[in-house]
Structure 1
Amino acid sequence: MSNEASGDLAVLPPGMGGSAAAEFAPFVRAFARTFGNRRGAGAAFAVHLHGEPLVDIWIGSGGDAPWTKDTGTIIFSATKGISATVVHRLADRGLLDYSAPVAEYWPEFGANGKDAITVRQLMTHRAGLSALAPIATCLADVLDHQLMEERLAAAKPDRLLGVPTYHALTFGWLVAGLARAITGMSMADLFRTEVAEPLGIDGIHLGRPPADASISYAPLAGSQLSMLGKPLGAAVLGRSHRIPGALGAATRCLFLPGLEAILEGADPPILHTELGAGNGVCTAPALATMYGALANGGLVAERRYLGSHTVRALRRIESYQLDRALFYVPMLWRLGYHSMPMPGARAGFGHIGLGGSFGWAEPRLGLSVGFVHNRLSASQLSYDQSAAFWLLPLMLNCLRATHRVAVQEMPKAA
């Protein structure tokens, strides 16, 4: 789409594609300034209101090619929101009960004192299985998703059982093992049959999209996390079991010596496994579409995607306790999603990934958002990780100006 806009559309800056309602012009300009000049990198942002797109913009490049509407990239932990949605689809059909023990569906999981751990605990990071090192010794282990499911089924929970402690990588294998036990299908197949196909989208995949997919993959740009493999980083990670408090919990759930190699190369190993916690490849509009179903009572284009009882359950805050592995941040965990602890956005929910990509729903407004980008560089990570904390408030302020929602319903953004 050209940069020229007419009628009630914003004029797009040079190099930006897509369209946006005129009232989003300040957002469009800020987005272009922030994401339009990154070497080999690009970004896309989509906003849907009651399923209708208000913003669908992209800028920059995905490697050697310009970013387009169909460009997607790895969204890391934002993948968890999609994996959780798969579980909700199963619950919606009566195939599982959130309050039932996981072992009721996945008998092997009952080993080593885990027979009473419930699906609800699993989906709210309270299963006591956040640490990576007890179940994986090397990169090859991490890349074998069925092996990881088996080892978690046999594992013993740690002392944080029952306490919110972010299961950064293990969450994906846990929900995949549960879903496989119920359906006999892999999580990659369930992404297709329970999310992409029912929603009519080809912008959500687990791992590298197939050759016949319409999505084009934007490779990671930047230094990735190569610093972790240097002697100092390896020495610290190798002693993560000795680090006390939140720093130790965060290190144990996120890192393993040598794990940084999972991101290396033009065709990184992370694309060739099923990591329901971290290797989704998505476009921004696809994320906005999925979260639109959660923001609009389970309906997509007047078609029922989830029942109202399931939607009520997934919106409910399950735990107000501070998360031990995320430095005591108030995540307000739902069943697989978290709150965005910022002005104007706390009632919504979604999931942020490493580097800042995220999907988000605001049920009070029927609003959904998808944001993806492909820069992953250690030196800029803290800035990129906080993208939601300025993108969402700015977007909400622009939405207020559209008068498409009642003023009394509109949460104020700082």
Structure 2
Amino acid sequence: MRKILLTTAALGLAATPVLAEISDGKVKIGILNDQSGVYADFGGKNSVEAARMAVEDFGGKVLDAPIEIVSADHQNKPDIASNIARQWYDTEQVDSIMELTTSSVGLAVQALSLDKKKITINTGAATTELTGAQCTPYGFHWAYDTHMLAVGTGGALVKEGGDSWFFLTADYAFGYSLEENTANFVKENGGTVVGSVRHPLSTTDFSSFLLQAQSSGAKVIGLANAGLDTQNAIKQAAEFGITAGGQKLAALLFTIAEVNGLGAEAAQGLNLTESFYWNRNPESAEFGKRFLERTGSMPNMNHAGTYSAVTQYLKAIQAAGTDETEAVAAKLHEMPVDDVFAQGGKVGPNGRLIKDVYLMEVKAPGDIKEPWDYYNVLATIPGDQAFLDPAKSGCPLVK
């Protein structure tokens, strides 16, 4: 009888491993981004809300374990971000960190997470180095990258005759990567780069930089920056009469959040590339309106990408039957991505999510039919054209 009871108990434990397979009895996800600075509209607290939406839509639990979202402001400083991430991992039982706007931050936290054997899913950082030379087995890149932006916005303008470029570039890893990718694409298509200038992150005075761009005579001034930096550059370019003089501005990373901040009058006619638009189909519209009710704004590709990243991470835990890093990372590489953000998406061996993206044009104010109806979708760019072939990414994990 004693043997039977022991055998039954053992079988019972084996049949119900659920909470035993979840570390600390819960799944804890950290959203680490800029919540008070130049990229607060691009990601910020709305990315945190997108993560919470994903958890709620998933049912609040995975493998019967509760899911918790925590967040912090990294202030666009890699050292601050790394300290927060280390504390989360070492003392607060955070299982994964996501969003990570600002490329220097994304690279720093991804490197730390490799040492800690933790999964990161970058939605807010742009540099292709995340899935290139600095790729890791546990690092994933979700919403967009600088190669995609160069192919989309840069490609459209070269085809329209914008074959000479001058770059106004944010002075850190993201800006360099965006300028390099776009410049390479311009040259490959027969264009030329006549010069560039770098500006500090979060500067408010673009006058000297814009004057250099204006005097270059380039047909296109590529704004290799983002957030408030791009908005301020566009506003001050109008004051200098740059677009009135015939030069075109290329906002290489500009989303619906920044269009709304700038206003349709100032933004009209801009070409830009996003991997999500709320008004593209009924499913995205339904998600967008739910997001609007919670936040007061429509989601951009970073917000929708964060929703998708959290959802896919939870699906991977469920499929793996555990939150153990190796098992979950394997599922993230293996599983297709089908949700409101990505349809038919796939993750490459370098961790890059490959999905279709969209070339947009900001409507003239008179063509806007409802609030946030800012875009005409000019073209759908297939994922295998928008993103680098993993075999050509420089990632040492790719055979």
Please report the TM-score for the alignment, with normalisation by the length of structure 1: 0.25
More helix by share: 2
Greater RCO (Cα-Cα under 8 Å, separation 6 or more): 1
